[in-house]
Amino acid sequence: MKLWGGRFTKPTNQLVDEYTASIRFDQKLATFDIQGSLAHVSMLAKCAIITNQEAELITDGLKKVATQIECGEAELTEANEDIHMNVEKLLIDQIGSVGGKLHTGRSRNDQVALDMRLYLRDALVTIATLLLELQQALVKQAEANLDTVLPGYTHLQRAQPVLFAHHMMAYVFMFQRDLERLTDSWKRVNRSPLGAGALAGTSFPIDRSFVADQLGFDAVSENSLDAVSDRDFVIEFLADASLVIMHLSRLSEELVQWSSAEFNFIELDDAFCTGSSMMPQKKNPDVPELVRGKTGRVFGHLMGMLTTLKGLPLAYNKDMQEDKEGMFDTVETLKGALALFAPMIETMNVHKDVMYQAVVKDYSNATDLADYLVGKDIPFREAHAIVGQTVLYSIEQSKYLLDLSLAEFKRFSKAIDEDIYDVLSAKAVVNARDVTGGTAKNRVEDQIKQARQFFEDHETWLQGKITLLKKLIVT
C-alpha cells in the first residue's frame, strides 16, 4: 500500500510506477530532504503539535536514515516514488508508526521546493568557489605575461596588438560578472517555502519563520501558491550557468586554436590532453573541446525548463518533476568543467616569442600610423586613406610597415619623420593605449589590482556561506 493510497481500490500499474517515479534521480536530494525534515520536526515540537519525546524519536530516526543512505545501506525503491516517501518509509521502518507524524503540517509540494532550494544553495557555493579559482589562475597567467604581446583579433583577422595579460583579464571580468550573478541569485534562492503545504498553507499552528531560521534562510516565501509552483530560482540558475559555460566555451575555442600548429601560441600541459589511437604524434585539446561541446546541453536544460513552466496553471503540477534532472546535470557539468579549467590554465605554457613574431609580421600597427598623422594635424579620414595606400604598397612590396624606409613613408606623407619607427614598435603600440581598461601595461596592472579586490570580497562572502552550510550537516 502506498503511503497515500487510502482512497484507492487497486494498486498502481507497474508501468505507472516506473514512469512517474523520480527516485532514480531525486535521491541526490536525500541529505537536503533530511535537513529540512529535522528543522520541521523541531518546529512541530516547539509549537506543541507533537510531543518532545516524539520529536526526539523522529530526530534520532532521521539521523540513522541519513547514515544508512550515506553508507549505501538503505534500499530506495520506485514503489516509494521519490526521495521524500522513501525517507519517510525508512523512518517508519526504523522507529515505528510515530514516524508517520513527520509529515504533519506539510506536503511533498512545499517539501520538494525546500529541498531544491537547499540543494541549489550548496551548488551555488561550490560553483562560486570554482569560478574564483579559475579567475585566480587567469590572473596568475596575466601577471606572468605583463610583457607578452600577441595579436588582437576582430573578425578573426589581426587587428591591433594587445598584451596577453590583457587578453587573460578579459576573461577574468567575464567570469566576474558570472560570479556576481550567481552570488546575487542567493537572495532569491534563500527563501523558505516550507509551510505552504500543498498550495493553501496548513491548518496547524506552525511557525514558518522558526524553520526558515533553523535552515539559514533569509525569509519565508510570501504566498503559498507561489511558493509551491515557483521554479524561477531554477530558471535563473540555468540562465546564469548558461552564461558561465558560454564564456568557458569562448575561452575553449581560443585554447583549441592557439594550441594548433597554425597558431602555436600556447601548449596545454600533457595532463590535460589526450592522444590518438591511430596517430602517435597527436596531442589533442580534448578538455576545452568537450567543454565547448557540453555547452549545448546546458543551453538545452534552460530552454527545457522554460518550456515546461510556460503553460502551467497554479499551483503544483506533475510536469514540475522535470525541474530536477536538467538542474542536476547542469550543476555537475559546470562543476566538472570549472574544476578542470583552473589547473589547465595555470599549467598552460605560453609561447611568447611566437606571439611576438606574429605581431611584428602583420599590419596591426597601421592604426598607430594613422593616429601619428592625426597628431601632425591631418584629419583622421585623410590619414586613414594615406595609411591604406601605404599598407597596399607594403603588401605589393612584400614588406611590413617597419620594413619601409623613411623615403618610402614620405611617398605617402611628408609629415612622417624618423620617430615613426619608435611609434610603430609593438611595445609602443601597446603602451599607447593608456586609457582606463586599455592594454597598456600600467592599465592592465590596474585591472589586476581591481580583480584582487573582487577576490577578497567574494572570499569573505563564500566563507560566510560555507560556515552556514556546515551547521546543517546531518552526519
Helix (H, G, I), strand (E, B) or coil at 162: strand
Element (H, E) at 470: helix 441-470
155 is known as an active-site residue: yes
Q: Which residue has the cell 601605404?
A: 390
Measure CA 204 to chain center: 40
Question: Omega of the bond prior to 315 within 30 degrees of 0, cis?
Answer: yes
Point out the catalytic residue in the list 166, 229, 276, 351: 276
> Please, where are the H alpha helices in 310-322?
none
In the numeric block, the cell 534562492 is attached to 189
Locate 164 and state its grid cell: 596577453
Write phi, then psi, for 409 (nearest 5 degrees).
Answer: -60, -45
In the block, residue with C-alpha cell 536538467: 326
Active site residue: 155, 203, 277, 405, which one?
A: 155
State the chain's maximal CA–CA distance in angstroms. Answer: 101
Q: Is 458 a catalytic residue?
A: no
- Contact between 401 and 363 under an 8 Å Cβ cutoff? The reply is yes
Q: 307 near 378, Cβ under 8 Å?
A: no
Other beta carbons within 10 Å of 114:
30
For the beta carbon of residue 403, count every other beta carbon within 10 angstroms: 12
Taking the C-alpha atoms of residue 88 and residue 79, their distance in angstroms, rounded to an integer, is 13
Q: Coil, strand, or helix at residue 230?
A: coil
Which residues are known to be catalytic?
155, 276
